Structure formats: C-alpha cells, structure tokens
Structure 1
Amino acid sequence: MNRILVINAGSSSIKYQLIEPETGERFASGLVERIGEPEGRIAHRGAHQNERSLPVPDHTAAFEAMVAAFAGEGAPIDALGIVAVGHRVVQGGDAFVEPTLIDDEVAERILSLGALAPLHNPGQYQAVAAARSLFPDVPHVAVFDTAFHQTMPERAYTYAIDRSAAAEHGVRRYGFHGISHQVVSRRAADLLGRPVDELRQIVLHLGNGASACAVDRGRSVDTSMGLTPLEGLVMGSRSGDIDPGALLHLLRGGYGADDLDRLLNGRSGLLGLTGVGDFRDVRAAADAGDEAARLAIEVYAHRIRHYLGAYLAVLGGADAIVFTAGVGENSAALRAEVCAGLEWFGIRLDAERNGSAERGARRIGADDSRVEILVVPTDEEAEIARQTHRLVG
C-alpha cells in the first residue's frame, strides 16, 4: 500500500483524506472543526461513518482525534499504508515554486509568510508541526496554492506602486487556487485529447472562493487573485476588486484596519449584497423575485465576463473556457449568463448540453463553437497526493 494522507488545515479546522495517489481512490476522509473552542467536532468517513463532539484545544488534539477515528473503525494508523503526508499551504510567496519537503527551516518559512496570508498560513503551520510530531517516520510535503502562478511574467504580477515599498513589504500578485487551476487545465486537455502545452485556456474556479486564470500551454500567465485571496471575482463573503480609494474613504470615515478586514473578507461579496453567502440561496431568492439577489447575480456574472474578456486579450484568443468548483460545476444558469452574447468571440454554448443533469468532465459548447466550453470537476486533494507521491517516489 502506498497511500498519501492529505491535510488541508485552517486556523480552526483540519480536513483530511487518505488517497491512493496513482488512481485517486479515497479510503477515508474527515473534518475536525472548532479547534480551540470549548467543544469541537469530528466527522469521519471511512469503512464506517461517525460524528462526535469532543474537546479539541489545538491542532495536535485534532490529529489525535483523527487517529482515534481510524482506530475506532479497526484501522490503526500504522496499518493504513501511509507513505507520506501532503499539506496544502496557501501562501508560498516567491520562495516556493514547487512541492517541497518540509524540514524545520521550511516550516518556519511557512509561518513567516503568515503576514501575507494571516487567515491561512499560521493555522497551516500549526497543523504541519502537529502532524510532524505525530507522524515522524514519513516525509511531509508542502504543496503551495501559489506555486502554479510563479510562471506569471513580471508585467502580470507587478503592481504599479513605489518599487521600494513593494519590495520591502512583498507586495506583488501571487495568485491562489493554483492547485485547482493546474489539475483542471490538465484534465481539460485530456478531455480534448490534446497536449496541455498546445492549449490556451481560461479556467474559472467558481465557488465560495473564486478566481480566474489564464493558462498558456500549461503555464499560468495571469490570475485574478493578487497579494491575497481578496482581489478579483465576487465571492461568497469577499468583495473582490474594489477601488483602493474607497478603502481610504472608509478609513477616513472611521473604519480601522481590522474593521476593513472584517468588511472585505466577511461582510462583502454575495453576503454583503444579499444577506446570504451561498450562491444556491442567492439564485433561489432571485428566482423568487428578490431584486437584491437578482442584482447580486448580475454583478457576479459581470465580474467573471470582465476577466474572461481580459484573458482573451492576454492569451490572444482561447482554445477552451473551463468552468470548475461548486458554482462553476453545478450552475447551468450562471454558465449561460457568462457566455451570453460572446458568439463574436467564437464562444457559443449548447443549451441542451449545458442544462444536462450529467456530471463529470464534459463538453457544453455548441458544435460550431470555435472555443471549446467545458465543465471539469476540480480535485485539489488528489492533485496534492499526486504531487506529494511524485516528490517522495
């Protein structure tokens, strides 16, 4: 058995999956949440499914709960065939451009990058430390969300601010969702039966977090998220693009830095426009005649079309537009709204294919569409397992 334990951690939760890297088969998965609160919770799905509440004071306790869940179904952790642990790390800065074996120095570097991703890297550092302590005899690998975007040219990642200030504070476009954009663009090429290094693709990762990426022959050349995951498309509770002058205006009006953080990350996007952050609920409200919800969907789709047009220009055209993640994979209506009126770009949706109940990777473009339009489910965990296994052999 050669299985990879994939860890996707945050400051208050750990998601885990046990994966066979060559086939992508899942043997178990689970979520430990409410870490640090008086009462935590674990939901484990393996040979059996079970959920229970328990104290989870820190990340070490979260991993101990995971180990106990495996043991509780008669699968002690040392009998699971784990050959490596793959950790998703959101921010790798410009220091990490590929999957990296974690040692003490790498772990400390992940923590130091927390200034650029305060909602993600500190929790991921804690998870790395706890996992290395509990699993000391297998290699641990960091797979970075930002790594795929390190191929962007300087003109795409450079912000037009004072160069010394940018250098001092590490201000540049890093991009995120790179693991998803990488695996989806490769799977799209497989679906089309063409090498990925022949294709110009625009990948639209549309979920609670959302980003667009221009992929030129397998390499990211532009992406909508920037220094942080806040820039770009409208998201569940994040604003996406906003005039920096509006932030100065709010600061002068009495908002502090923490107030702005809470506003832009937690009270904006669909939630800010409608009071609910789940796209399905917003769509249902719009269909029922709610004007705020109708406007929110129009803003959401307009921002996607804005980036779609920009990346058609960046790439000099496109061979494929690829929808992925929860909203992208499941909302036929949104895909139709994004593609509407783009026939002069050679983008023509097939209404029947788009509205089909079929799942999995599929074509939804019309036969006469010059640009392929695809739906390709993302699978970040399987990609982390694959990259981890490739590194450790």
Structure 2
Amino acid sequence: MVILTLNCGSSSAKYQVYDWDAKEVLAVGIVERVTQGNSFITHKAKGKEEYTLHHNCPNHTEAVELIIKTLTDPVHGVIHDMGMIKAVGHRVVHGGSKFTKSVIVTDEVMKAFHEVSDLAPLHNPANIMGIEAAKKVLPNVPHCAIMDTAWHQTMPESSYLYAVPYDWYEQHAVRRYGFHGTSFLYTSKRAAALLGKDFHNVNLIIAHIGNGSSINAVKNGCSFDTSMGLSPLEGLVMGTRSGDVDPAVPFYMMRKTGASASEIENILNKKSGLLGITGQYTDRRDIQAAVEKGDRRAELAQDVEAYRLKKYIGAYMAALGRVDALVFTAGVGEMAPFIRKKVLEGLEGLGIVYDPEKNAIARTRNAETNIAASNSKIPIFIIPTDEELVMTEDAYALMAGTYDIHTNFTYTFQSPDYVNKARAEGLKNDLVKNPALASILVKAK
C-alpha cells in the first residue's frame, strides 16, 4: 500500500512516496519553477541514481501529472500504476481555528481553507492549488489535509489572544494560531520517547529553525504557547521575515516613505530578517562564511537571531515552570552548531549547560543526539524532524478510519523500537565521515 504526500508552494511541488507495508520511503522529489517557465523535476528513488527532467509546468495540475508520470516511469519510477496509491496527504499551512486535527478534504473543508487564505497569503493559495490539482489527477482516492495550525489549537486563551479590541477576535478571527505544527508534533513525541516518559507528562521547548523559524512551549504533551501568530511573520528572526517588531514601525515607515500597506507587508515578509540585516544573505552557511571573513553585518545578523531565540527560551522556561528537554530541529537547528552555540551560551543559570565539543560534532539529519554537558539539569536534544511521516500516518489513519486527535492517537514513531530505515542507512555514512558522532547518539528508552 502506497501513500503519497504533497507539499505545494507557489512555484514548487514537493513529494514523498511511502510504502506503508514495508514502512519505508520509496522516493522523494520536487518540481521547481512551477508557473515560472523552465520547470524541472528532481527525483530520488530508493536504490536508484538521482533523476532530473526538464518539463514545462505552467500550473500545479501539470506538476502533479509530472510527478505521477515520474513515479510510474518504467526506469525511474517506484510504482507500477496509480492504482497503488491509496491516499494522498497534503500540507496546509493555515487551517484557522476550525480544525484541531487532520481531516479528509471535502468541499466544506476547501471552503474553510479559502476563508483563511488572507491570513497566510504566501502559503495557503499554493496549498489549495496543490490539492485541487491532485484531486484532478487522482480523483478516486481520499485526499487528506494536514494543517500546521492544528497542533496549536490546545493553546489557552491567555496564550493566543492579543490585547486588541475583542471584537477583532470575534468578527475577524484575529488571534495567534502558530505554525510548524507537524514538525512540533513529531519532535515532541520523539522527545518523550527519548526521555522514556509518557508524552502526556512531558514539558518541552522546541526550536524549529529553518528559513522560517518558530519556537514552541509544550506543556503536558500539548502546545501551550508559540512564537508565530496570526501569520507566520511574528516571532523569531527568519531568513527574510522580520519576526517581532513594534507594531508602530509599519505605520511610521508608510508615513516616511509613502509605501502602501501591501508594500510594507512584502518588505516585512520577503526583504527583512537576516536578509534585511546583512543586505544579501539568508542562508546561514553564507552568513557564517561572511562572519569568518570579518563581515560585521553578517555577525550582527547572527547575534540578533540567536538573542531572539535565547529570549524566547527564557520566557518559555518561566511559562512552563518545569522543562524536561530543550529541542533543536529543522535544517538550521539540526546542522548549524555555530547558531546553537550563540543561543546556548549563558543559559547555565537556567540549568541548560551545553558541551561545546558535542555541539560541534552534532551535524546529522539521520540520528537523534544530545549535546548537553554532564552537569546540565536539562537534556539538549537535536531531533531531525519528519513532517512527511506525520502526514503519511495521518493520511493512512484517515483512510482506514482509525485516526483521532493526537492526544488519543499513537504514531509508530512514539515506540522506543521505532527505526527510520532510510536514516539508519544514512547514519552509517555519517559515522564514517564523523566517527565522533557515535558518542552523542541517544536512543529511546
């Protein structure tokens, strides 16, 4: 039985093919430059060489058709025909406050996604296009929506309400929603397994750091507070997003420059953050290289990003009272020791003590590690996220009729015996290149 997952952006369509019976990934890939011309697909199948094909995709329907054609290709494909695909899971960034868990897509569900599209204008329209395109190509299988916001629906009112006129909330749904929920769900369940604790009793601080970044306070296994808000713009400093700013800044700059509201919104979303400070970089590797060459603005960008993270960690320590583990995840959280170093330095008074040597060697997307010093009261886990697996398991359970809200549902990766076969193979290569990695690996209890 095969489950297909899709994550459609405005000009891309990422996918993963999962063999449910064998519990392994068959293929992953992405179609890039959708709607932009010169489109191409990059396809990585188990046991085969990477495959790239240039094929124009003026819309997402043709992108999904290209994915299906590639998956069923006699040379590069991994399935015999489309009939092997029994369900499709779709990432949806914003589900508003209507959804507390993943759902099978219906006309009513699609209507709800359209209604909240203006709350995530950079993401939801593309997610919707991807669902509509996939339903045309695969009309006879259940299509399931896995929403970033659903995980955060457990937040109390004191966490999600803004101190603005209450009728803004009642009439216009102005509140904090939070995002990266699928990643936080996976990493929180894995952290509980690593701690050997029932997830209902686990308090965590999880930092999902990538081009888009957010941090989550998890109390008794559920989202309690998070840095992103009404949209993915609030909170941490990100690649091109400003994160927290004084609400007066946009109005001030509109008066000063004559810029429109939409122009300021575009600047805060696409021209701010690390790009805004450095003037040219969003990739942390480029920023680190510039720092090493003496670029003062690159160093400043690192300092601002790390300080914002540090402040949120301190705030969430106070909010939770007890913290069982601090977790880093996503591309930067998993692979950038120079960022983690700046974040973790000086947290000893909070019981968080990192080991510089462990931190330096913790660079893998194939295993879970602990970089805490021996005298740290709180473990510091680095847990490679796996949003696609959450999407796959939700889609399968929805199709099978066994799915429920995460507090009443058990994922395969919650088991102490869980093994990701592809990552286990990848770890072997990582250990050859970096033997010291073996000393910081952590296993579920």
Does the TM-score normalized on the shorter chain lie above 0.5?
yes
Counterpart code for 2:352: I
> In structure 2, which of residues 219, 232, 236 is the aligned counterpart of residue 233 of structure 1?
236
The answer to whether structure 1 residue 259 and structure 2 residue 266 are counterparts is no
Residue 138 of structure 1, CA deviation: 1.1
Per the alignment, do residues 23 and 246 of structure 1 end up closer, same or farther by CA in structure 2, a change over 3 Å counting? Answer: farther
Q: Give the secondary structure class of the aligned counterpart of 1:293.
A: helix
Counterpart code for 2:346: G
The answer to whether structure 1 residue 243 and structure 2 residue 242 are counterparts is no
Aligned twin of 2:373: 366
Runs (4+) of structure 1 exceeding 6 A deviation are: none
Aligned twin of 2:6: 7
Per the alignment, do residues 239 and 343 of structure 1 end up closer, same or farther by CA in structure 2, a change over 3 Å counting? Answer: same
The answer to whether structure 1 residue 154 and structure 2 residue 157 are counterparts is yes
Aligned twin of 1:33: 32
CA distance in 2, matches of 1:217, 1:77: 44
TM-score by length of 2: 0.85
Per the alignment, do residues 94 and 280 of structure 1 end up closer, same or farther by CA in structure 2, a change over 3 Å counting? Answer: same
CA distance in 1, matches of 2:263, 2:155: 32
CA distance in 2, matches of 1:353, 1:283: 19
> In structure 2, which of residues 281, 289, 301 is the aligned counterpart of residue 296 of structure 1?
301
CA distance in 2, matches of 1:8, 1:251: 35
Aligned twin of 2:391: 384
Counterpart code for 1:86: G
Aligned twin of 1:336: 341
Residue 24 of structure 1, CA deviation: 5.2
Per the alignment, do residues 80 and 329 of structure 1 end up closer, same or farther by CA in structure 2, a change over 3 Å counting? Answer: farther
Aligned twin of 2:327: 322
Q: Give the secondary structure class of the aligned counterpart of 2:15.
A: strand
> In structure 1, which of residues 68, 81, 97 is the aligned counterpart of residue 100 of structure 2?
97
Percentage of matched positions with identical amino acids: 44
Per the alignment, do residues 257 and 233 of structure 1 end up closer, same or farther by CA in structure 2, a change over 3 Å counting? Answer: same
Any idea what the Cα deviations from partners look like across 1:103-153, whole Å, max 9, x if unmatched?
Answer: 122122212221111111111111111111111121111000000000000
Per the alignment, do residues 24 and 326 of structure 1 end up closer, same or farther by CA in structure 2, a change over 3 Å counting? Answer: farther
Residue 352 of structure 1, CA deviation: 2.1
For structure 2, the residue ranges without an aligned partner over 5 or more in a row are 401-445
Report which stretch shifted further, 292-301 or 16-25.
Answer: 16-25
Q: Tell whether the 8 Å contact from 1:204 to 1:212 is kept in structure 2 after alignment.
A: yes
Counterpart code for 1:319: D
Residue 276 of structure 1, CA deviation: 0.7
CA distance in 2, matches of 1:41, 1:257: 35
Q: Give the secondary structure class of the aligned counterpart of 2:215.
A: strand
CA distance in 2, matches of 1:285, 1:207: 19
Residue 349 of structure 1, CA deviation: 0.7
Report which stretch shifted further, 106-115 or 78-87.
Answer: 78-87
Report which stretch shifted further, 186-195 or 153-162.
Answer: 186-195
Residue 242 of structure 1, CA deviation: 0.4
Report which stretch shifted further, 214-223 or 60-69.
Answer: 60-69
CA distance in 2, matches of 1:93, 1:320: 29
Q: Give the secondary structure class of the aligned counterpart of 1:322.
A: strand
The answer to whether structure 1 residue 311 and structure 2 residue 316 are counterparts is yes
Counterpart code for 2:372: G
Q: Give the secondary structure class of the aligned counterpart of 2:30.
A: strand
CA distance in 1, matches of 2:142, 2:87: 5
TM-score by length of 1: 0.96
Q: Tell whether the 8 Å contact from 2:217 to 2:225 is kept in structure 1 after alignment.
A: yes
For structure 1, the residue ranges without an aligned partner over 5 or more in a row are none
Residue 80 of structure 1, CA deviation: 6.8
Residue 225 of structure 1, CA deviation: 0.2
Any residues of structure 2 matched to 1:173-184 within 5 Å, and which? 173-184=176-187
Q: Tell whether the 8 Å contact from 1:186 to 1:196 is kept in structure 2 after alignment.
A: yes
Counterpart code for 2:384: P
> In structure 1, which of residues 351, 375, 387 is the aligned counterpart of residue 382 of structure 2?
375
The answer to whether structure 1 residue 120 and structure 2 residue 119 are counterparts is no
